[in-house]
Amino acid sequence: MTASTSTKTQIVSAMSKRRWQWLAFLGLFLGYWGSVFCRTATEAVMPAMMQDKTIQFDKRTAGTMLACGNGAFILGKILCGVASESFGGTRVLTVSLLLVAFFAIAYARVFTASMLIGSYMLLKLFTAIWPAITKLLSAWFDKQDYGKVLGGMSIGFQAGSVIATVLIGSMLSRGLHWRTVVTIPAVAMVMIVCLKQFILYESPSKLGLAPATRETESPAKQKPQDHPMDPMSVRQALVYMMETPVFWVVAVASMALSGVFELQIFMPLYFKEALHLTPGQAAQAAALAPAGAIVSLVIGGGLYDRLRRQEKCIMISTFLLITVMCIGTLWQYKNIDVKLAVVVAFFLGFSVTTPFFLPITIFYMSFGGKRHTPTVTGILDCLGSLAAVVMDNLMGSFAWKDLFAVQLGCAVAGLVSLALLLSSRHST
């Protein structure tokens, strides 16, 4: 009778935990999407801002603002990682999202260029919430579920930007002032934070539920093995990272694939300048890249957790071989047919997205342990963002053929580094 009662209690507890896990995922998904919505709003209204005679805003100011925002975003990743370790993921996430809403409203209320740039920088600083999100995901979900949950979060990133752009464009076309358009996502963000307070907790233990399984069980002790970084201070953890070769392998992968992923942003300009399409046609053709990215995450996220280490290595290597072939095609053929270029754009988005989001982010969560996941995420994500900034600058000064040659080198570096990661004992 006692054994039967114990079994029933375990089943009820497991069902309750699963429900709370998906509520936690919903809270994180909405928070992440809300931050993307606010950030996209401030950027998508720039053409309308240039037509507003009440403010000092031109193309040069826009370029300065975007560059300063990228710098603030990189700094924000480091600060978010350190703060999440010290104060907890939920606190940092709540404060960050509220400040994103605050600075979005401030952005919609100022009139001078310096105030616009300052508001945008602070907004970008607090949208760098990925370290806090990875900390909470690793606390709530078992390691064997990382592929699915990260695939879902990454779809939120991809689809969120597209949906936000469509909504903002619709509001502007209906005659809403750009200040109103920026304010609406900020109000939505406050509502998301209020909802999040009821569905997202720091960990299952806060609700009396069993903690997430981070590692395989030890056969001898039949309990999860201790993570080597958990007892370390931040300083000791940093030394451990610097002395671990696989950390640098993943750093190379993060930087290389961040540079390749940035190519999706260049595609509309490539279709317009190199293939001589109209701006509208170029935007429509380039939209196949994010569409391919979403398909990739649906397939990759569903398969990743079911595969063994060697199978993961084969799958990710195959994805990146397709990436190399796509970039090689763009590099080799100067006068490529538009239809072929559209197909290449789709497969480029399809092939680079799963390797970019899944194995690298899962490494963050596995390598950092319970305590240092935000710091690992912040450092490696920061390196990736720096590589993206460098690639943006190269885009402005390189011919398309030369840029694709650099991208081809990055794709090969990403392929080799992820193959090394997935064939090692640190395989994710």
- Residues 120 and 39 sit within 8 Å (Cβ to Cβ): no
Q: Reply yes or no on whether the pLDDT at 273 is more than 70.
A: yes
- Residues 146 and 305 sit within 8 Å (Cβ to Cβ): yes
Residue 365's nearest CA partner among 278, 282, 299, 428 is 428
- Non-local (6+) Cβ contacts of 3 within 8 A are none
Residue 120's nearest CA partner among 165, 73, 77 is 73
Amino acid at 380: L
If one compares 278 and 90, the residue with the highest pLDDT of the two is 90
Tokens of 363: 């490494």
pLDDT digits (tens, 9 = 90+) for 369-413: 777 888 888 899 889 888 888 887 787 678 889 989 999 999 999
pLDDT digits (tens, 9 = 90+) for 232-272: 888 888 898 899 999 999 999 999 999 898 888 778 778 88
The pLDDT > 70 percentage for the chain reads: 91
Residue 296's nearest CA partner among 143, 147, 90 is 147
Tokens of 311: 């199978």
pLDDT digits (tens, 9 = 90+) for 194-204: 999 889 988 88
Q: Which fold has domain 234-422?
A: Growth Hormone; Chain: A; (1.20.1250)
Average pLDDT, the chain: 85
pLDDT digits (tens, 9 = 90+) for 64-76: 888 888 889 999 9
Residues of the chain with CATH 1.20.1250.20: 18-202, 234-422
CA distance 390 to 382: 12
pLDDT digits (tens, 9 = 90+) for 304-347: 888 888 899 999 999 999 999 999 999 988 778 889 999 999 99
What pLDDT, on a 0 to 100 scale, did the predictor assign at position 15?
A: 57
CA distance 401 to 331: 5
Identity of the highest mean pLDDT range in 13-17, 44-48, 176-180: 176-180
Residue 365's nearest CA partner among 250, 205, 233 is 250
Q: Note the Cα 108 to chain centre separation in Å.
A: 26
Amino acid at 207: L
- Residues 370 and 205 sit within 8 Å (Cβ to Cβ): no
- Non-local (6+) Cβ contacts of 222 within 8 A are none
Tokens 């990759």 sit at which residue?
300
CA distance 55 to 161: 26
- Residues 378 and 80 sit within 8 Å (Cβ to Cβ): yes
Mark residue 276 as left, alpha or beta (left: phi above 0; alpha: psi -120 to 50; beta: remaining). left
**Angle at CA 240, nearest 5°, toward 239 and 244?**
120
Amino acid at 99: L
Q: Which fold has domain 18-202?
A: Growth Hormone; Chain: A; (1.20.1250)
pTM reported for the whole predicted model: 0.78
If one compares 144 and 227, the residue with the highest pLDDT of the two is 144
Q: DSSP readout, 1-15?
A: -HHHHHHHHHHHHHH
Residue 4 pLDDT level (bands cut at 50, 70, 90): very low
